[in-house]
Structure 1
Amino acid sequence: MYQGKLRKIMIVLLTLYTALILYFLYLGFSRGLMVDNPGGVRFNLIPEGIALHYPMGQDFQVWFFEYGNFLAFIPFGIIIPLLFRCSFRRFITFFILSITILETLQMVSRLGAFDIDDIIINSLGAAVGFAAQRLVTVDRDKLKGIFKMSLIASILALGTIIIIGGINHYLEKGAGDTIALDKLPLKDGSVEWDKSLSSFKISQEKVTPQINLYSTKNNEFSYHLGGKYKNMTGYVAIPGDAINDANTPGTKIGFYSGGELIGSSWLSVSAYSEGLRKIFFNIPLIGVNDLTIKIINHNSNPNTNAMMWDVTLIEPNTGQKIINSIKEKIR
């Protein structure tokens, strides 16, 4: 435990760092503007997981806040135990209580939101810092020891990001078994699939389906999914030789569950834009028991019906099934 002059210096540094953190919690990032447009009290009491993801494919702002919420609290785990003798249980209890109070004040003042996920990630950062200072047993009051603690904290933080980021990637991006849509029995309606997987052209590009090819003879059909699938992917397009002129209204495909359209809009295939002749779709199916596919043709030319191919259903992986089961029990 630090004593004498070093202790006084570290208390001053801790005070200044705490003030900096409080600034970002209550005043930074234009939080003052929230008071003018509060939009009501905001809070999240149900944990969604540990918010640490790999930066690849992440929006920079999301990535910045996730890593900031983790890394910014590591110094507390290093410095506080060196100033005040305490066990990990006492330290982490005090820290969680303190950060909970700060989150509550954010919500009440409407300068932010009470978010249980923030408490988790902040506490994880503090725990990493605590572990780092405990792993250094000598020269803790010297520059050499402080450097060792900083180095160990950096290694532990990197390892934590790699492990938790990997788990999150598995739970959010990982996929289970894949099943072709044409292999499922129909619930209602009728549909024909081109078993020969005939090739066709899209914007002068030759397309050869690899899994299945929807026949244009049917415009509505349903499947019973029983909530077993995570999402459905595939391609849809209007064949290039079916586009006659720029006034062709196009064809739309809707995916429905319980009479409600899944997603925010229709998947639209139109001659107005060259880029819309071929679309990759990814439809979320978590919790969907019955799926209805409707094809609406707005053209007088029947050949402009949409082509749909390589349509597959993806099951959740084992981890996703466990998480979904837990969420269902919580609800």
Structure 2
Amino acid sequence: MGVKLRKILVIGTILYTLLILYFLFLAFNRVEHATSQYGYTFMMIPESVPLRFPNLTDLSFSWIYNFGNIAAFIPFGVLFPLLYRTHFKKFICLFILTIFVLETLQALTFLGSFDVDDVISNTLGAMIGFCAYKIGFISKITWKSLIKSALTVVVLLIGIMGISEIIDVTLEKSERPIQGLQTLKQLTGSMPITHDLPSFTIAGEKIIPKLNLYSSEGKEIKEYKYTLDDKKEVLLYYNFGFPDHVDSNSELIIAVDGNVMLQSTEQYSPQAELINTALVTVSEITITLKGNVKLWDVGFSEM
């Protein structure tokens, strides 16, 4: 590699790294909304598969987010081996260590949370990049080798989506039927809507709840609290989002046994999200809604 090309790659790597750090710590109004009110957030149990096949007729924001979590780190798998010749094991170990440090800093500075799903997705991206490097960049770079590298990235991404689909279907078959959260004993708070459920629009998508609907309007704060009688190996399902054309300050908080599991504001999640969270032992679930936020089809199943 020529000296001039190496300088260009070094500068490009530094600039790209700074861009990624910006998105990790400063983008999406993170500084403005950083707060220690709810403590540190460490999500150590994988909550979803890395990347499923997209719905081409209705591409969701969550799929774009998951895709970006992988694709954004592919360049590192190419650039770093190009600049510093290294073996796959050493590269991946150093990369995982770095991501663990960055995710921990996000949580400790309240600029985000430690999410093991992000660690998995980011690492998959770096691995794809390293494979592309091995095929197209380790020897003489030609148009043919570049095309091979691009095809490698595409094939590996499709492979990840295929494996994710298989894992998702397998997990669904191993779970018990989903029960609405309202079937549990309610301790205090408001009651969700369970009949004649109204529809609403989030991110341009019409939402039609099936199980239940938890909502708040304007500046009103609503709290729902349920007891699970120390159920073990529970999967909690929920969808949440902030309706379109709403300017009020909105917030959703889900706490399990007094520990905040999810805290989201309008600025962080302007879209509908489908989430399932694995919980080991659960005694009590508390849901707090402020402003114009919708939480629907909240249910649980036992493994």
Give the TM interval when normalised to the shorter protein: 0.5 to 0.7
Matched, 1:229 2:176: yes
Residue equivalent to 2:222: none
Residue equivalent to 1:68: 68
Q: What's the CA shift string for 1:152-209, capped at 9, x where partnerless?
A: 2233223322332x1254146x457xxxxxxxxxxxxxxxxxxxxxxxxxxxxxxxxx
Residue equivalent to 2:22: 23
Contact 1:38 1:110 in 2 (8 A): no
Letter in 2 for 1:46: I
User: Counterparts in 2 of 1:39-54, with a 5 A limit?
Assistant: 39-54=38-53
- Runs of at least 5 residues in structure 1 that lack an aligned partner in the other structure: 177-227, 234-253, 274-278, 289-322
The structure number with the bigger radius of gyration is 1
Distance 1:22 1:175 in 2: 39
Distance 1:54 1:115 in 2: 22
Residue equivalent to 1:116: 116
Distance 1:141 1:8 in 2: 17
- Cα 1:281–1:47, aligned 2, differ >3 Å: closer, same or farther? closer
Residue equivalent to 1:320: none
- Runs of at least 5 residues in structure 2 that lack an aligned partner in the other structure: 199-207, 213-227, 233-276, 282-302
Matched, 1:265 2:192: yes
Contact 1:50 1:120 in 2 (8 A): no
Q: What's the CA shift string for 1:214-250, capped at 9, x where partnerless?
A: xxxxxxxxxxxxxx832369xxxxxxxxxxxxxxxxx
Distance 1:110 1:232 in 2: 33
User: Counterparts in 2 of 1:1-331, with a 5 A limit?
Assistant: 2-35=1-34, 39-56=38-55, 60-136=60-136, 139-142=139-142, 144-164=144-164, 166-171=165-170, 174-175=172-173, 229-231=176-178, 256-257=183-184, 259-260=185-186, 265=192, 267-268=194-195, 282=211
- By relative contact order (CA 8 Å, sep 6+), the higher-ranking structure is 2
Q: What's the CA shift string for 1:239-288, capped at 9, x where partnerless?
A: xxxxxxxxxxxxxxx9634x459xx6353369xx9xxxxx99559x9x69
Distance 1:153 1:79 in 2: 15
Q: Aligned-pair distance for 1:12?
A: 1.4
Contact 1:53 1:168 in 2 (8 A): no
- Cα 1:62–1:4, aligned 2, differ >3 Å: closer, same or farther? same
Q: Aligned-pair distance for 1:112?
A: 0.9
The TM-score, its normalising length taken from structure 1, stands at 0.52
- Cα 1:144–1:256, aligned 2, differ >3 Å: closer, same or farther? closer
Q: Secondary structure at the residue paired with 1:111?
A: coil
Letter in 1 for 2:194: L
- Cα 1:78–1:29, aligned 2, differ >3 Å: closer, same or farther? same
Contact 1:106 1:114 in 2 (8 A): yes
Alignment RMSD: 3.9
Letter in 1 for 2:24: L
Name whichever structure is richer in helix by fraction: 1
- Among the aligned pairs, what percent are the same residue? 35
- Cα 1:105–1:156, aligned 2, differ >3 Å: closer, same or farther? same
Q: Aligned-pair distance for 1:31?
A: 1.3
Contact 2:77 2:128 in 1 (8 A): yes
Name whichever structure is richer in strand by fraction: 2
Distance 1:6 1:280 in 2: 55
Contact 2:49 2:168 in 1 (8 A): no
Q: Aligned-pair distance for 1:143?
A: 5.2
Q: Secondary structure at the residue paired with 2:49?
A: coil
Contact 2:99 2:119 in 1 (8 A): yes
Distance 2:73 2:22 in 1: 14
Letter in 1 for 2:177: K
Distance 1:133 1:20 in 2: 22
Distance 2:138 2:196 in 1: 69
Distance 1:255 1:105 in 2: 37
